[in-house]
Amino acid sequence: MPQATGGLFGRDRELGQAHEAVVAAGTGSPQVLLVGGDAGIGKTSLVTRVGERAREAGFTVLVGHCLDIDNGVPIQSVREALRGAVADRSAEHLPPVTRRMATFLLGGAPGGSGSASSALEDLGLVVAELSAESPLMLVLEDMHWADRSTQDFAVTLSRTARGPVCLVLTFRTDELTRRHPFRRALVELGRSAGARRLDLQPLDRDGISGIVEQCTGRRDQAFVGATLARSEGNPLYAEELLQAGPAALAGPLGDLLLARVEALSPPTRELLRLASVGGSRLDPPVLADLSALDDLALETCLREAIDANVLRASGEHLDFRHGLLREAIYDDLLPGERTRAHARMAACLQARLGDDAEMAELGVLAFHWYAAHDQTEAFRASVRAGRAARTYGGPEAVTHLERALELYDQVPHEGGIGDVPKADLVRLLAEACKEHHDFDRASVLMREALDLLDDDTEPLLASRVYSSYAVLCGELEGHLHHREAVERAIAYAEGEPSEELATALYMMSRLHWRQEQIAEAFRYAERAIEVATAVPVPAVEAVARQSRGWSHWNLGRIDEALADFEAAAKAAARGGSVAETLWSEVHRALVLIDLPDSDAWTGLVVEGRDRARAQGLPDVAQECAIILARGYLQQGRLDDADLLLSELTEEGLGPDHHLWREARSLLLLHRGDAAAALPLERDTMALWRSVAVIPDWEFVTHHVRVLEGNGLIDEAVSVGREYVEMLQDADGIYTLAGAAVLGYVTLAAAQRAGLPLDEDLLARADAKLEQAAALITGRALATWGGTHLALARALRADLVGEPSTDLWQTAYDACSRIGAGHALQAWLGLAHAVAASGERDRARSMLPELWAHAREMGALGVADDVARLARRHRIPLPDGQVPNRLDVLTAREREVLDVLATGATNLQIAERLFISKKTVSVHVTNLLAKLGVTNRGAAAALARELTRVD
């Protein structure tokens, strides 16, 4: 009989590319190797050979497999791979995080918080620790079967890995339909620095000839040609054809694979047919119970299957030799056989697991009951698995809860383990959808949950649904306003302390915050903390402390705010919520960024972003990035903000996200491009008007300035007046100062357009200024919010024609302690006041300095304003005011262009400037757009024309 090949033929080019990646990783440059191809094309064989060479080069090679059974269990393949690093080592010889995670990797529950996000972060740290010991190759096979958490882990690791790490991922390209969940992750993985994609094509004649020779010992060219034609270059198919002999050349692959099984003894065939319902990986103890074979008989069957190359030993596991082989056996079962096999598997698992099963086991159980068409048991197992997944924080909760909801009306409900009221189930699913960014689905489900409530609904259930409604979606037509819903939630839960009451009180605090009613927000947050502490419910305590912290902040109590956010982080950690722990740190950073002469916020935000990305928490990571960009703007680091926003666009956070739009619009107005900012403002304002929230006064003030910059004076005045009126009942001290600034900015825009003074709007702004002046005292005066009191006073003086130079000087001095970017408008106001006051000598000194400072910062809008002011007062500015076309580029973009003009590729530019290839791509895209050219050649020609390129 011909021997199955163990060789690798026809893959020299791919092996060479993989070797380059291994060498690069070994030098400390992280690599991502994406190996794709059809089933049976040789992905595993290639990766196995690459792993062998990596071991020879000193790498530790760890391999994990994504399984072809839809059990909703997250990151199994990652745990399997990393298990290989701890299985044979004593705890004292493991690095600290790896030691802490060893129990989890070996099959136990995760340590620490136990959430998916914390586990993802810790697994990333394990990779970092292991790669610090020796170069590391981490292989995850069959990513087309990967769960969402595994995909998130791979994407995050590809972005954040440092040092000698080579991540190798295999996937079937023939499985990746347009809507396949792995396609999105694959795109993101392909964008990462060091990513290389190897798409394995069918073997050519030489490759098939090598397989034929190894199997048969000869190279009969006619036989090679026939094998090539029948196998279409697929190595697995070719091997099966050769194993079956020449007579099989007319048979389909499935028949060839089954022929190998049919040659086995009846007990082994029956065992394999039972095993095929459980996926490609076998669990011998379960098979023993399932088949009723004694240990000796089971071992005999398994050994026979291994010897026949149907099964293979993979570390501590037994797997089908190939997924196609398992699929062929499973597909050969008749429908009734398949159903009965799943039912036997489910009953066996349920008997083994009992009532205290872990999430992984519940996911498998739910899968088998569903495949067995036992709707009652499938429903119960799905609910239990969904609840467990929600506690863990993984996206797999949506899969389980959707299945439970699908089955709800088809099963009896008599309470007991796994049962749940339908309104609660729908609410839980809505929350899971929102947590994983399916906001439209969350709104639809929330409407369904509300419709399920009636007079007979259990009070605490009604409280839960009404509280969820207020946080999950906007106000739904035909349903209560959020305020009324939360009032009902509180009323239904009043009495003994409960999680429902604590949650409803917190939600009321949050609603008052949305309406800028800070004193009431504080009062409800206080009650929520008391109840949550009494129950106790650490997760609710954490968010309630966050709400009270922001109330403290907007009442001028800075130290109390910081203390609340620190306490919130500790409560969140006790409750196992890594996301809320990080949010609490983000809130601390936002307070610190408001303080004078403070740069402590930067480290918190950068670290928070890295941790959030490592944990698969995109909302937190994106918020951190936007805070960082806005911090750069506040500091006057416009080029850094520009680059960061461009990089975020490359990562998928762009104009569709309101936080990105707001930051980009601020940058554009600094640059003097109000026209480009306008469409971003339109989209963001439309979003604000669609939700029951008063927009942030800072956003509205900026919006008014953008409208004025586009000549839309009537609209600017209308919007400004509208929102000052909306802030009539606001009582936060910084909101009061901000409302005054908004009013005066609106009135100044009208005044510059020649419109009559709006006395009512002036009176409203004056009232807010008076309230703010009485409340913003002491330390609060020096904060970012406090500087707006000084700005409001200076703006008002200009508006009514009073002397303003000293007021603008005070405002400028205060703003300068916050950041150079924040101080720029105050400096411009001071320059106007000085010029208008007739202090010509002071103006002759100030205007050129401000003009040069604004140009150096990249704030061309301010520079243009200063230039117009200088012309009006006949004050000369430095020579060279005629702009060079290259002046629109940032300093880094100029460096990239200089190297690009020499004919360098992106990779060569990256190596020359010591930046990543991805960052070079962002810079090139930006500079092409800014220069108004369509390709690199035109940009290089323009650079040579306008500069001297060595």
Give residue for tokens 């992984």.
360
Give the C-alpha separation, 544 to 510, whole Å.
9
Minimum mean pLDDT among 100-104, 497-501, 613-617: which range?
Answer: 613-617
Fold assignment, 888-946: Arc Repressor Mutant, subunit A (1.10.10)
Percentage with pLDDT > 70 across the chain: 91
**CATH for 252-333, among 3.30.590, 2.60.40, 1.10.10, 1.20.1740?**
1.10.10
* More confidently predicted of 932 and 440: 440
Identify whether the C-beta of residue 8 lies closer than 8 Å to the C-beta of residue 42: yes
Q: Residue range 896-903: average pLDDT?
A: 85
CA-nearest of 796, 718, 715, 807 to 762 is 796
Q: Residue range 49-78: average pLDDT?
A: 85
Q: What is the pLDDT of residue 219?
A: 74
Mean pLDDT of the chain: 86
Q: 115: pLDDT confidence band, cut at 50, 70 and 90?
A: low
* More confidently predicted of 662 and 385: 662
Note the pLDDT tens digit of each residue in 646-671.
Answer: 888 766 667 777 888 999 999 999 99
Give the C-alpha separation, 801 to 131, whole Å.
67
**Residues 6 or more apart in contact with residue 863 via CB below 8 angstroms:** 672, 851, 854, 855
Q: What is the dihedral of CA 349, 351, 355, 361, to 10 degrees?
A: -10
Give the C-alpha separation, 889 to 477, whole Å.
48
Q: Residue range 834-845: average pLDDT?
A: 91
Give the C-alpha separation, 461 to 498, whole Å.
12
Minimum mean pLDDT among 174-188, 335-349, 767-781: which range?
Answer: 174-188
12-201 carries CATH number 3.30.565.10: no
Q: For the whole model, what pTM was predicted?
A: 0.69
Note the pLDDT tens digit of each residue in 191-244.
Answer: 887 889 999 888 888 887 887 877 777 777 777 787 777 667 778 777 777 776
- Domain coordinates of the chain in residue numbers? 12-201, 206-251, 252-333, 888-946
Q: What tokens does 167 get?
A: 């991540």
Q: What is the pLDDT of residue 615?
A: 65
Identify whether the C-beta of residue 139 lies closer than 8 Å to the C-beta of residue 51: yes
Q: 331: pLDDT confidence band, cut at 50, 70 and 90?
A: confident
Note the pLDDT tens digit of each residue in 682-736.
Answer: 998 988 887 767 888 999 999 999 999 999 999 999 999 999 999 999 999 999 9
Query: What string of DSSP letters covers 358-404?
Result: -HHHHHHHHHHHHHTT-HHHHHHHHHHHHHHHHHHT-THHHHHHHHH
Answer yes or no: same fold for 252-333 and 888-946: yes
Q: What tokens does 366 get?
A: 């739910």
Most confident range, picked from 156-170, 345-359, 431-445, 872-886: 156-170
Q: 2: pLDDT confidence band, cut at 50, 70 and 90?
A: very low
